[in-house]
């Protein structure tokens, strides 16, 4: 009818448009903002950008960038490359919650010192992984001004020492996640500081830690495990892979950590059947255990696992000296198992594969890479597992 009101998308209230735009990808959110002024205003609503992380190349000056991010309420920043001053980023976004500088090779102690000059209560996540120029001096600034930090990634920061961990124990008492992968100077003394057990009266420790990664920290020994067991009692996830100074006897300390759920011992040369026995007897409620490439792990360890670690959902046994006997026992007792990695276990045959197919009905992922004694007959039985989604058969020969 002539003169009848025509309803189009342009008739929607800006609040309704914002709710629609919130479902778009980050790229499309930027595109709809260029359609018209009405859509731009709606697209700049904080509802649209809630939880979005801005990924930025800061190569040239752009006076409109940070006011635009602030207007949209973006508080998570990932710097892909940095040629401008880091202080300009931090000062322009006073309510920043997450700052990711991973791989920004030109970040130095000087740039960290200029960026963090006042208390930043909103910043809780800081990723400095592979920023190889930073030292303990940067951790001093972080401990002074980022008191509410909960997540700190220092992976690959090879100049960090035990002194830096002492500074963290002074100022970062709310820290929950700490990654120290390949921090080669870290030793038992540094873990003592984190645990709050040192003689320094100002070192309160990071006793709220739930996740600690010490992968490839070659100076870590059993003494560090003793410190962890006494001071970091809330720990849920511990990565000790490639820590060659850890022994089976040291795992007895970890058996007292009732909160521990994930333990990575991959390529720990000193870990043996005795160490797994300590974990099993301790009654841990582990859901994830990786002892891949531990040459001293065999069927005896699997007997301990099957008797004391019944809640495991993820088990890594790659390249260990296990046989059908041990694996059959595992399959009869670990009914909650979801992921089983037994790649390069060259003694495994169809016998244990049949036991897995009969008993582990919840399993979703199996790694049989290099298990050359498994035949098509065994694989056909695995195909009947109702929830199996991933089956790795690399180097399978028959």
The domain that holds 284 is classified in CATH as 3.80.10.10
- Per the structure block, which two tokens stand in for 142? 């972080």
| 21, pLDDT greater than 70 | yes
Least confident of 202-211, 245-254, 292-301: 202-211
Q: What is the pLDDT of residue 244?
A: 93
Residue 43 maps to a domain = yes
Q: Tokens 């200029």 sit at which residue?
A: 114
CA distance 164 to 351: 52
| 5, pLDDT greater than 70 | no
111-141 pLDDT, tens per residue? 999 999 999 999 999 999 999 999 999 999 9
Q: What is the pLDDT of residue 158?
A: 95
pLDDT band at 395 (very low <50, low <70, confident <90, very high): low
Least confident of 152-161, 196-205, 257-266: 196-205
Q: What is the pLDDT of residue 184?
A: 95
| 92, pLDDT greater than 70 | yes
pLDDT band at 398 (very low <50, low <70, confident <90, very high): very low
pLDDT band at 206 (very low <50, low <70, confident <90, very high): very high
- Per the structure block, which two tokens stand in for 49? 């950008």
Query: Of all residues in the chain, what percent carry a pLDDT higher than 90?
Result: 73
Q: What is the pLDDT of residue 48?
A: 86
Given a contact cutoff of 8 angstroms between Cβ atoms, the answer to whether 180 and 160 are in contact is yes
Residue 125 maps to a domain = no
Q: Is 216 left (phi over 0), alpha (psi -120 to 50) or beta?
A: left
Q: What is the pLDDT of residue 60?
A: 76
Which letter does DSSP use for residue 267 in this model?
Answer: T
Query: Of all residues in the chain, what percent carry a pLDDT higher than 70?
Result: 97
Q: What is the pLDDT of residue 1?
A: 46
Q: What is the mean pLDDT of residues 169-193?
A: 96
| Last residue of one domain, picked from the residues 34, 50, 66 | 50
Residue 11 maps to a domain = yes
Phi–psi pair at 265, nearest 5 degrees: -120, 25
CA distance 38 to 349: 67
Q: What is the mean pLDDT of residues 385-392?
A: 94
Residue 385 maps to a domain = yes
Q: What is the mean pLDDT of residues 299-328?
A: 95
- Per the structure block, which two tokens stand in for 192? 């003592």
Q: What is the pLDDT of residue 266?
A: 97
pLDDT band at 4 (very low <50, low <70, confident <90, very high): low
| 200, pLDDT greater than 90 | no
259-302 pLDDT, tens per residue? 999 999 999 999 999 999 999 998 889 999 999 999 999 999 99
Spell out a b/e string for 288-320, using b for 16 or more CB atoms within 10 Å of the CB, else e: bbbbbbbebbbbbbbbbbbebbeebbbbbbbbb
Q: What is the mean pLDDT of residues 77-81?
A: 90
Residue 322 maps to a domain = yes
Q: What is the pLDDT of residue 210?
A: 98
Average model confidence (pLDDT) for the chain? 91
Residue 209 maps to a domain = no
Residue 119 maps to a domain = no
Residue 105 maps to a domain = no
Given a contact cutoff of 8 angstroms between Cβ atoms, the answer to whether 16 and 39 are in contact is no
Note down the domain range covering 23. 7-50
Please give the helix or strand (H or E) that residue 198 lies within, else none.
none
Q: What is the pLDDT of residue 65?
A: 82
28-66 pLDDT, tens per residue? 888 888 888 888 888 888 888 888 888 888 877 777 888
Q: Tokens 């778009």 sit at which residue?
A: 24
Q: What is the mean pLDDT of residues 146-152?
A: 97
Residue, of 5 and 241, whose pLDDT is higher: 241
Question: Would you say the pTM of this structure is higher than 0.85?
Answer: yes
Give the total number of structural domains in the chain. 2
- Per the structure block, which two tokens stand in for 97? 């919650």
């Amino acid at each position: 009818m002539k003169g009848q009101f025509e309803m189009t998308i342009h008739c929607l209230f800006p609040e309704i448009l914002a709710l629609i735009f919130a479902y778009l990808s980050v790229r499309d959110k930027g595109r709809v903002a260029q359609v018209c002024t009405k859509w731009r205003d709606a697209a700049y609503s904080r509802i649209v950008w809630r939880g979005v992380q801005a990924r930025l190349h800061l190569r040239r000056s752009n006076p409109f960038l940070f006011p635009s991010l602030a207007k949209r309420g973006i508080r998570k920043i990932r710097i892909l490359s940095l040629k401008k001053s880091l202080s300009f980023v931090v000062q322009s976004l006073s309510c920043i919650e997450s700052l990711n500088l991973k791989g920004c090779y030109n970040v130095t102690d000087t740039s960290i010192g200029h960026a963090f000059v006042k208390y930043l209560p909103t910043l809780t996540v800081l990723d400095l992984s592979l920023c190889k120029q930073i030292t303990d001096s940067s951790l001093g600034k972080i401990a002074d001004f980022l008191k509410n930090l909960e997540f700190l990634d220092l992976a690959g920061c090879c100049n960090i020492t035990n002194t830096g961990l002492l500074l963290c124990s002074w100022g970062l008492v709310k820290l929950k996640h700490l990654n120290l992968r390949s921090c080669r100077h870290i030793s038992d003394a540094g873990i003592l500081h984190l645990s709050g057990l040192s003689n320094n009266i100002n070192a309160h420790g990071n006793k709220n830690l739930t996740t600690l990664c010490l992968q490839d920290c070659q100076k870590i020994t059993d003494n560090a495990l003793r410190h962890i067991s006494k001071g970091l009692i809330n720990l849920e996830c511990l990565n000790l892979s490639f820590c060659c100074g850890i022994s089976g006897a040291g795992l007895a300390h970890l058996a007292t950590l009732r909160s521990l759920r994930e333990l990575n011992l991959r390529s720990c040369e000193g870990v043996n059947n005795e160490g797994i026995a300590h974990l099993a007897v301790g009654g841990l409620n582990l859901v994830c255990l990786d002892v891949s490439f531990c040459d001293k792990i065999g069927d005896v360890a699997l007997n301990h696992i099957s008797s004391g670690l019944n809640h495991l959902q993820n088990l890594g046994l790659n390249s260990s000296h296990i046989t059908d006997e041990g694996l059959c026992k595992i399959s009869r007792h670990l009914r909650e198992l979801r992921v089983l990695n037994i790649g390069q276990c060259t003694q495994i045959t169809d016998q244990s594969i049949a036991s897995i197919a009969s008993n582990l009905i919840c399993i979703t992922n199996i790694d049989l890479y290099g298990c050359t004694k498994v035949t098509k007959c065994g694989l056909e039985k695995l195909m009947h597992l109702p929830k199996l989604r991933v089956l790795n058969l690399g180097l399978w020969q028959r």
